[in-house]
Every structure is written in structure tokens, then in C-alpha cells.
Amino acid sequence: MLPDLTAGVALLALTAYVVLGGADFGAGFWDLTAGGAQRGAPVRAMIKRAMSPVWEANHVWLIFLLVVLWTGFPEAFGSITSTLAIPLFVAALGIVLRGGAFALKGEAATIAEARALGATFALASVIVPFFLGAAAGAIAAGEVPVGNAGGEEWTSWTHGTSLLVGALAVAAGAHLAAVFLGADSRRAGETELVHAFRARALGSGAVAGALALAGLVVVRSDVPELYDDLTSGAGLACVLASAAAGLVTLWLEWRERFELARYTAAAAVGAIVAGWAVAQEPYLLPPDLTVHEAAAPDATLVALLVATGLGMLILIPALTWLFRLALSGRLVYEDKPRP
Amino acid sequence: MIDGVLGGPVDQDYLLQARQMQAMSFAVHIPLVCFGIAFPAMVLFLEGLWLRTGDPLYRALAKRWSKAMLILFAVGVVTGTILSFEMGLLWPEFMATFGDVFGLAFMVEGFSFFMEAIFIAIYVYGWERLSARTHMLAGVPMVVAGITGSLMVISVNGWMNHPTGFSIRAGEVVDVKPLAALFNDNLWHELVHMYLAGFIVAGFLVAGVYAFGWLRGRRDRHHRIGLVVALSVAALAAPAQLLVGDWAARTVAERQPVKLAAFEGLEETTKGAPFSLPGGIEIPKLLSLLAFHDPNATVTGLDSVPEDDRPPTGIVKVSFRLMVFIGSGLAALGAWFVWLWWRRRRLPRSLWFYRALVAAGPAALVALIAGWVTTEVGRQPWVVYQVMRTESAVTGASGIPVGFGALGLVYLGLAAVAVVMLRRLSRPPLEVGP
């Protein structure tokens, strides 16, 4: 019971990070592909405005996930970080470059500076989800044994499943970002941007859906056990739920119902994460280490769960307030004093 | 002494590089923590002055500081993330074996970090469109979270130096008591020491910016207020730090005698131990007096443990002295200002005071890092004091030098850009609204 609840907390943190953090990385993808300095300026301005007040809070979900893992499942944490040191380290470097460049590019004085920082931000925004996704794919594929660097340092995460999960992470983030930014643009009354992001949401949604389907094919030959669990029982239910939510999102985007689309897009991505968890249940590190075997002693799990419960009591109202203020356009930094 | 649950020590040719990489990552992050501790309180204090007096200059200055605070926080977020990753990437055996003992502290830290991120964003982006009262109130959790977050990380460091809340049976960690580990005996002095250090470093660095302007003839009210607010914080904290430092050293003398011996390079256990100054001068019995408040106390020497269990003495000794020397100088500088302000209500007139202030910020940074080197290297060869050796904790993965080099390059670039941007932020004249 306690190990399952703790795994539930980890899954919640992971889902929140994939949806909220993923959308911030996706915004970076659209920044990267927005075109020349002049043509891309409105898109980039919207991204900056939407992301600035929330990206740090969204990023904390990753830290929270790491902490839950090393406190609740320390053996698994040590095994993952030592075997998957390369993709995780590249992702960590990407996180520094992405966050640092985003925080500092606001002060850029020349076009060259803004371009260099903007490009760093945008490129790192693609690298981070790709490598984190590849690491997740390695775990799902059963490439991480218990031990200090017990798995293969390269081939554990360079096989088809890993690369596909990495690509899917980038595409899903881009899709979420386009949906969220489209809704933000509508709220801000930027009609041209609404259409720009709507087109991006439709396109990226199609790509993400195609990648998810291709993923199933790759998983079928790469990791048959995982494929079986994804195509039966609760795993199948999650896959179907994700597909349905994805299709509804595309329909909502088509009909320009952007606010509702935020939630269905998040559900589509969240269902993939849940599907992964359900498919590899009861294992934390397939094929050997189960959630129950990996769990910390009860005293630690009780403390972790109580701390999480109490923490959520303050976190949820605070986050709600932040998102409300941000969505209603009340969090904007203006250098000039009020007239 | 135990090996760890992932299978015990591995062949790692680059243990030293792993330690250096960790040290570099800490050295980059710790100054930003100082700003996380002190800057919110300083900014909120300025805003409070504005609300009380209605003087728009206070508001304009608070707003500008808050923007610098946000940039420093963002850089702190990402450098802190590197540390979280490195815990596992470099020391997987340590995490796998003890994560369940000390992890609770990081849970609380995680929520503090959430609060800090949320309320710093609301505060900095909410200047224009939130009511003055709501805005000020949004600043309060930001200050509190800055304190609780660092409290929890310090708790883990205190635990590594004085591990409690578990037992070892047959080489395995059992009887885990997370709360006992969280509130270990080292928490309190380390916390107060670091907390004051945060105010000293951030206060002197910010004051130094205004002192530099002062020397160049920018002595308007804006510069005066910026100087006085930042300097007051540092000037009060610096003398107090001497007392806390004494408390910390006495605790180390009691609980980690070998570490204290490394501070002083004391080879043999000595009754009435002398304090040696550079140049071979020795002051009789002073070390015993300092460490135990008793001139005839016996101070344990390095020879009390086998050579393998001794920390590298040279670097610990130099760092300790550097910290004490700079800390004393900063305390004197702070006392000079406090005395004059208290008796005469004015700033010092001597240009040397302002020159010293410009140097004080970087010097405080050096003292901060020297202090952490003292305690961290002084803990070696243990990652968990007298329980797990650092060489048992290190990763079996290859490529540590490559990672070290790559991170070093990224940090150099980040530091260069951050300094340029922060200087740019401080330059334009302050625009004061109604």
C-alpha cells in the first residue's frame, strides 16, 4: 500500500512535469522554428510573455520527482542515474542552458546578443525533452539493472524505443505548447497569433499521434512484454484514452475552442504517461525490480507521504493563484513606471 | 562502516575529478543561495519603506532589485538542478544507501522551492497590476521559503557530518528514523552560520555596487539608500558571524575532532594546544582556549586516526584561515559603519571605506567558499562521517572528466553572460514614478 501510494506521488510529479514542463520546452521548439528576427518576433514575444512567470514553478516538478525517487526508491534512483548517466547529464546541461539563456535574454541589448541567447534557449529546449524521454524509454525497455552503472552506458538508451520516446517527448511538448499558446493568444486578443498557433497545434498533434503509433510498432519488436501490456487491460485503456483525447483536441482546435483544448491536450499526454506506468506495473525497473522491492522502509514512506500531503495543501492554492494571475494577464513586467 | 546497497565500491579512476566537479557545482550555486536567502528580505524591506513613507524612490529601487533577484533566482534554479542530478550521477551508492534516511529534508526543500518559484514570479511580475497590499503580502512567502529551503539542505549537510536516525546491522542500514535524521544536532549551528553568511555575501556585494558608484561620484539619494540598506544588513550580520563561527568551531571540536585537527594542522594530540600563525609563530594554549574555552583542554590531533582516515590537511587549513581572516576583516568593516551610523547618523567620509566596501563583496564570496571547502574537505575521506567513505559512494560510470570539462565550460559562459546582464541592469538611471 505505502509503496504504491509513493509510486503514485512520483507518477503525479512526472505527469505534471511532462505536461507543464513539457509545454515550456515545446514553446522553445516554436521559438526555434519561428523564422527570422522580424517575422518570428510576435511568436517569440508571446512565448516570452506566457512562459516568464510560470517556467520556474513548472521546472520544480522535475526536482520534486527526483526527490521522491531518491527518498522513496533510493536503490532504483542510484541504478538509473549511474546507468543512464549520459542522457541524464546531457539533459541537465540542457536545463542549465535553457533556463540560463531564457532568464538572461530579456536583457539583451543588440540583435546579435538576442539571437545567440534565443538560439541557445530554443536548441536546449529540444535537447532536454529528447534526452529525458530517451532515459525514460531505456527504463521502460528494461535496460536499467540494479547496480552501480550496471547497464550499458550507450546502448541502454540508443535503441529504437528510447529514441522514439525521446522524439515523442519533443513532439508532445510542442503540441501542448501550441495549444496553450493559442489559448493565451486568444485571451490576449492577438488574432494573427491565434491562427499561427492553431496551425501549429494541428500539425504537431498529427505528428505526435503518428509518433505514438509508430512507437507501438517499434515497441512491439523491441520490447514485446511492454507491447503486450500496452495493448491489453488497463494499458490499452490508457492508450485508447490518449488517442481519444488527442482526437478531441484536434477537433476543438479545428472549431477554435482553445480553452477546452488545453485540458484535452493535457489529458492526451497525461494518459501516455499513465499508460507507461500501468504497462510496467508491478515493476519499477523491469524486468526485475518491483515497486515493492525498491521501496524505502515504511517509516520513510510515511514521512514522505505526510510531507507530500501537507505540502500539497499549500502548493495547490499557491499554484492555482499563480496560474490564475498569469492567465488573466496580470503578471507582466513593465520597466516604465505607471503613467 | 558500510559499502552500499548497489554492490559496493567500484573501480573509479576519477574519484578526485568527481569530487572537484561536485565542488565546482557547489561553488557556483552557493553564492546564488545567499541571494535566495537575503535578497527577498532586502527587497521587501524597501517595499515596506515605500508603503510607510509613500516615497516612490523606495518603490523604484525595490522594483529594480527585484528584477536582479529574479535573474539570480533563475540561475540558481538551474545550477541547483545540476546539484540534484549530480547527487545521483556522481554518488549513486550514497543516494541508493541513504536516500531514504535524509530524503525527507529534500521533500520539505522541494515544497519550499515551489513556494519560492511561485511567489517570486508573482512578486516580480505583479508590481503593476496587483494592489500594493496584495503585492507586499505575496512577498512574505517568498522570504519564508528562501529560509526553509536552505534550512533543509543544511540539514542534510549537518547529517552527513553527524549522521543520526538509523542503525547499521550486518552492513545494512536499518531502523530508519527520518525525523531524527532531519533534526540532527549539527543543523542549528550550520543553519545560523550559513544564514548569516547569506546576508553578509549578498549585502556586501550589493553594497559594493553602490560603493563603486559612490567612488565615481554618484552620490544621489538613490545611491545612498541602496548603499545603506544593503550595507546595514551585512554590517549587522558580519560581527554576529564571529560568535556563530565560535559556536560552530566548538561543535566541530566536540563531534569531529579530526576535522578540527585539520583546521589547525595539529599532528599530535596536545594538552593546552597552541594556535599557530603564518610564519611559524605560535601563541601558547590559544587553540585549546578557542576550541573548548579552556586553555588546558586536550585537543585531539590527526594522529588519533590511521592515515587513511585523515582529511587532506593543507587545503583545509588554508581555507579555514582564509575564512577566519576575511570574516574578521568584514566584521571590522561592518562594525565601523554600525558605530558611525549609531553615534553620528552618517556614512563614513573616508574614501578608503568605500574602496574596502567594493572589495568586501568578492572577499565575502571567497570566505563563503573557503568555509564550505573547510567543512566539506574536512569531512573527507567520508561522505557520511565515519560511516561511508567517499570512494564507496562514487559512480561506476565512465566519462567523469568529460562531464567536468563540459560543465565547466557551460558555467564559464553562464557566469560571463550573467555578469554582463546584471551590470547592464544596474546602469540606467532609476525611473521614479509618482
Q: In three state form, how does the secondary structure of chain A look?
A: CHHHHHHHHHHHHHHHHHHHHHHHHHHHHHHHCCCCCCCCHHHHHHHHHHHCCCHHHHHHHHHHHHHHHHHHCHHHHHHHHHHCHHHHHHHHHHHHHHHHHHHHHCCCCCHHHHHHHHHHHHHHHHHHHHHHHHHHHHHHCCCCCCCCCCCCCCCCCCCHHHHHHHHHHHHHHHHHHHHHHHHHHHHHCCHHHHHHHHHHHHHHHHHHHHHHHHHHHHHHHHCHHHHHHHCCHHHHHHHHHHHHHHHHHHHHHHCCCHHHHHHHHHHHHHHHHHHHHHHHCCEEECCCEEHHHHCCCHHHHHHHHHHHHHHHHHHHHHHHHHHHHHHCCCCCCCCCCCC
For residue range B287-306, what is the model confidence (pLDDT) as tens digits?
898 889 898 889 999 999 99
Per the prediction, chain B carries an average pLDDT of 92
A145 phi/psi in degrees, rounded to 5: -80, 165
Residue A149 region by backbone torsions, left for phi larger than 0, else alpha for psi between -120 and 50, else beta: left
Q: Taking residues B239-251, what's their average pLDDT?
A: 92
Nearest residue on chain B to A326, alpha-carbon basis: B122
Whether B227 shows a pLDDT value over 60: the answer reads yes
What is the distance in angstroms between the CA of the first residue and the CA of the last residue of chain A? 59
Q: Please choose, from the candidates B48, B44, B67, B45, the residue with its C-alpha nearest in 3D space to the C-alpha of residue B431.
A: B67
How far does the CA of residue B177 sit from the closest CA of chain A (Å)?
7
Residue with cell 524505443: A161
How many contacts, defined by CB atoms under 8 Å, are there between A and B? 270
| Optimal mutation site among A84, A300, A312, A321, interface B, most CBs of chain B within 10 A | A300
With the C-alpha atoms ordered A300, B386, B381, B13, is the resulting torsion angle positive or negative?
negative
Chain A from 48 to 77: CB within 8 A of any B CB: 52-54, 56-57, 59-60, 62-64, 66-68, 70-72, 74-75, 77
How far does the CA of residue B29 sit from the closest CA of chain A (Å)?
12
Burial class (CB in 10 A: 0-12, 13-18, 19+), B381: middle
Report the greatest alpha carbon distance in chain A: 66
The rounded distance, in Å, linking the Cα atoms of A158 and A155 is 5
User: Do residue B111 and residue A311 have CB atoms under 8 angstroms apart?
Assistant: yes
Nearest residue on chain A to B428, alpha-carbon basis: A335
pLDDT for position B16: 94
Q: Please choose, from the candidates B124, B137, B143, B133, the residue with its C-alpha nearest in 3D space to the C-alpha of residue B39.
A: B143
| Optimal mutation site among B17, B75, B81, B87, interface A, most CBs of chain A within 10 A | B81
Dihedral angle computed from the Cα positions of residues B156, B371, B84 and B258, in that order, rounded to the nearest 10 degrees: -50
Q: Give the DSSP H/E element, type plus range, for residue B9.
A: none
Q: How many beta carbons lie within 10 A of that of residue B360, not counting itself?
A: 28
Residue with cell 539533459: A91
For residue range B190-212, what is the model confidence (pLDDT) as tens digits?
999 999 999 999 999 999 999 99
The more confident residue out of B7 and A11 is A11
Q: Please choose, from the candidates B374, B422, B321, the residue with its C-alpha nearest in 3D space to the C-alpha of residue B194.
A: B374
| Pure H helices in B256-312 | 257-264, 286-292
Q: Is A112 on the interface with B (CB under 8 A)?
A: no
* Cell numbers that stand for A125 in this block: 529546449
ipTM for the predicted complex: 0.94
Burial class (CB in 10 A: 0-12, 13-18, 19+), B295: middle
The rounded distance, in Å, linking the Cα atoms of A154 and B272 is 58
**Per-residue three-class SS string for B188-218:** HHHHHHHHHHHHHHHHHHHHHHHHHHHHCCC
Q: Is A152 on the interface with B (CB under 8 A)?
A: no
pLDDT for position A336: 52
pLDDT for position B248: 92
With the C-alpha atoms ordered B51, B54, B57, B59, is the resulting torsion angle positive or negative?
positive
The DSSP secondary-structure symbol of B389 reads E
Whether B96 shows a pLDDT value over 50: the answer reads yes
pLDDT for position A338: 44
User: Do residue A92 and residue B89 have CB atoms under 8 angstroms apart?
Assistant: yes
* Alpha carbon distances (Å) from B365 to B24, B191, B337, B409: 14, 17, 20, 21
| Optimal mutation site among A52, A58, A96, A304, interface B, most CBs of chain B within 10 A | A96
Report the greatest alpha carbon distance in chain B: 71
Q: Taking residues B319-329, what's their average pLDDT?
A: 94
Q: For residues A170 and A211, is the Cβ–Cβ distance under 8 A? A: no
The rounded distance, in Å, linking the Cα atoms of A96 and B170 is 42
Residue with cell 492567465: A327
Query: Nearest Cβ partner of B104 from A86, A304, A330?
Result: A304
| Lowest pLDDT segment from A151-160, B274-283, B378-387 | B274-283
Q: Please choose, from the candidates B374, B375, B368, the residue with its C-alpha nearest in 3D space to the C-alpha of residue B28.
A: B368
When pLDDT is cut at 50, 70 and 90, the band that residue B147 belongs to is confident
pLDDT for position A337: 47
Hey, which bits of B85-210 come out as E strands?
Answer: 167-169, 172-174
Nearest residue on chain A to B70, alpha-carbon basis: A103
Cis peptide before B434 (omega within 30 of 0): no
pLDDT of chain A, 339 residues: tens digit per residue: 999 999 999 999 999 999 999 999 999 999 988 888 788 889 999 999 999 999 999 999 999 999 999 999 999 999 999 999 999 999 999 999 999 999 888 778 888 888 889 899 999 999 999 999 999 999 999 999 999 999 999 999 999 999 999 999 999 999 999 999 999 999 999 999 999 999 999 999 999 999 999 999 999 999 999 999 999 999 999 999 999 999 999 999 999 999 999 999 999 999 999 999 999 989 999 989 999 999 999 999 999 999 999 999 999 999 999 999 999 888 887 655 443
User: Do residue B95 and residue A319 have CB atoms under 8 angstroms apart?
Assistant: no
* Cell numbers that stand for A10 in this block: 512520483
